[in-house]
Amino acid sequence: MKNFLKIAVASAVALCACSDGDKVAGTATDTENMITAEVSGSVVRTDGSYAKNAVVRMARIYDESENLSVPEFVEVRTDTTGVFAFDSAIADTFQLAVVDEDAEEISYMPRVTAASKEDFEKIKLEKAAVFGGVLFYEEVTEPAVPVGSHFMVYMPGMPFTQSVFAGDSFSMMIPAGTWWFGFCPGDPQIVAKLKDSGVADSLIYRVWNMDSVEVEPGDTLLTGPFLWSTESEVDSLMNQPEEQTPVSRISGRVACKNAKECAGVEVMAITDLFGFGFAGDVSEFVAETTTDSLGRWWLPVPSEIPADSFRVEFRAVGKVPGMGLSRYVMKSEVEALEDTLDLGTVELSKPSGLNSRIALVIDKQDSSQSDNCMMNSVVIGAKGTAHFVRAVTCKPLSIAEIPSGEQELVLYSGDAKVISTLQDAEMAFDEYVVSVFVNLPEGDVLEWQGMTYTPPALPKSVK
């Protein structure tokens, strides 16, 4: 049994960093203090079943002066009957934590002794709370010590930690309660170099306080983004350093049809709502970022917003294609933004398509259609998307892979010179742009013949 349950110290080393001095978090290096005693017990889930393959961590108890870093710990896993066993105790009094990832359940015992065998006989798990967010690494100047992109998120003084790469989301199961969280480089050698270069511990081990927020079992706390930087003297990672220009961002989450997170979804901010600036005969979707492993995304607020609002479009490619659109974001919402605006969750759906033909009507007062079609090109597309095409009136046109659902189709002259002239003359918008709402079927193509086009009349002053 012992040979099956023992976990090599190297496996714990891979979990943690942020070491203090020569001590490496996640290992039991002070072997001279090890007590010869066996600590064993069993773990059951909330439904009464055995917690098999759960991680059990034994950690030293750190006092307040040592709470910046991750405590040393050793870990084992339970067997198929929920039983765990340590060959010896790490100290006479220690912490014990159990994390069952399969059941998303957890247990935390902040102070126990090896002699308290009844405490370990049947450890009952409870539903874990979840702490999640995203960490950014930013420096004002070229750093003296290159930090890389690997960081650790941890609970100071407690054996709960998670690896994270800068710019990616993290999600860590935690006990219920109100806690502090720490962020630091993931490589102990980098930490040592930072110390040697004179960087203060308070800047290496950045901490964030939940304040008065208390999470209950099963709660999820998603916050941030957090910023790790040795340039900042503030302890709150939620704030940018004062000497930097505040960064305004938009963010959100993308879900698949089964409500699970969608990773790798392409994201594009659509500021040209009417497609006036597209090049060529078909506008293109140009991905600016992709969603992370939790379906989350972040983008800077667009530097230019020509209209009164903008939108964000999402595209998933591969075996199961999907598309989606955010709500319209008003320019007034982001003009003075110095934080992150959350646009919420968008659920992807199968793309749609549009086949149509635009009839030419020369005179609005006369609805009869003209045969002089080749003289007039038009642009048609869905407002607030990257899907516009140029076509000739009376000829078939097609738009493929367009977000389904209710869309506002817009139509205007395909001659860019005509459009710019009308705009310069400040002609009323609805004089040269026609719009109509359609409902595009999910996963299917709408055959639609419902638009007519009348070439705009130039104002007399510009003829």
131 CB-contact burial (10 Å; exposed 0-12 / middle 13-18 / buried 19+)? buried
pTM for this predicted structure: 0.52
Query: How many C-alpha atoms does 408 have within 13 Å on its Cβ side?
Result: 11
**Number of H helices and number of E strands within the chain?**
7, 31
The answer to which of 49-53, 120-124, 211-215, 398-402 has the lowest mean pLDDT is 211-215
Query: Is it the case that residue 26 has pLDDT exceeding 60?
Result: no
- Single-letter residue type at 123: I
CA separation, residue 211 to residues 177, 178, 203, 215, 428 (Å): 11, 7, 20, 11, 53
> How wide is the angle at C-alpha 317 spanned by C-alphas 316 and 320, nearest 5°?
85
pLDDT at 50 over 50: yes
pLDDT digits (tens, 9 = 90+) for 314-354: 999 877 789 999 999 999 999 888 888 999 999 999 999 99
Confidence (pLDDT) at 191:
85
Which pLDDT score is estimated for 174?
A: 92
* pLDDT at residue 293 tops 80: no
Supply the pLDDT for residue 280: 67
Residue 426 structure tokens: 């400040």
- pLDDT tens digits for range 167-183: 777 888 999 988 888 88
What CA–CA distance (Å, rounded) separates 403 from 325?
7
Which of 186-190, 260-264, 402-406 shows the lowest mean pLDDT across its residues?
A: 260-264
pLDDT class of 14 with cuts at 50, 70, 90: very low
pLDDT of residue 190: 86
Helix (H) or strand (E) holding 325, with range, is: strand 322-325
Task: Quote the pLDDT of residue 242.
Answer: 42
pLDDT at 357 over 90: no
pLDDT digits (tens, 9 = 90+) for 206-251: 888 777 678 889 888 888 778 887 765 444 455 443 444 456 889 9
Displacement of CA 242 from its chain's centroid (Å) = 25
| Position 42 confidence tier, pLDDT thresholds 50, 70, 90 | very high
Higher-confidence residue of 191 and 9: namely 191
Determine the Cα–Cα distance for residues 180 and 158; give it in Å rounded to an integer: 10
Q: Which of 424, 220, 453, 445 is nearest to 355 (CA)?
A: 445
User: Tell me, what DSSP letter sits at residue 211?
Assistant: T
Q: Indicate whether 24 pLDDT > 70.
A: no
Residue 366 clears pLDDT 80, i.e. is over it: no
Question: Would you give the end-to-end CA distance of the chain in angstroms?
Answer: 93
pLDDT range class, residue 267, cuts 50, 70, 90:
very high
* Residue/partner pairs of 25-34 with CB below 8 Å, 24 or more apart: 25/69, 25/70, 25/71, 25/72, 25/73, 25/161, 25/188, 26/70, 26/72, 26/73, 26/161, 27/72, 27/74, 28/72, 28/73, 28/74, 28/90, 29/72, 30/72, 33/91, 34/88, 34/89, 34/90
Beta bridge partners of 430: none
CA dihedral 187→193→195→198, nearest 10 degrees, is: -140
What is the predicted pLDDT for the residue at 134? 83
pLDDT at 243: 43
8 A C-beta contact, residue 221 and residue 215: yes
**All residues at 6 or more sequence positions from 20 whose CB lies less than 8 Å from its CB, including other chains:** 66, 68, 69
Hey, is 134 helix, strand or coil?
strand
pLDDT at 65: 59
Interior/surface letters 152-189, b for 16+ CB within 10 angstroms, e for the rest: bbbbbbbbbbbbbebebbbbbbbbbeebbbbbbbbbbe
The Cα–Cα gap between 229 and 135 comes to: 11
pLDDT of residue 73: 86
Report yes or no: 324 and 297 within 8 Å, Cβ to Cβ.
Answer: no
Distance between CA 139 and CA 240 in Å, rounded? 11
* DSSP strands (E only) in 49-92: 55-59, 73-77, 83-86
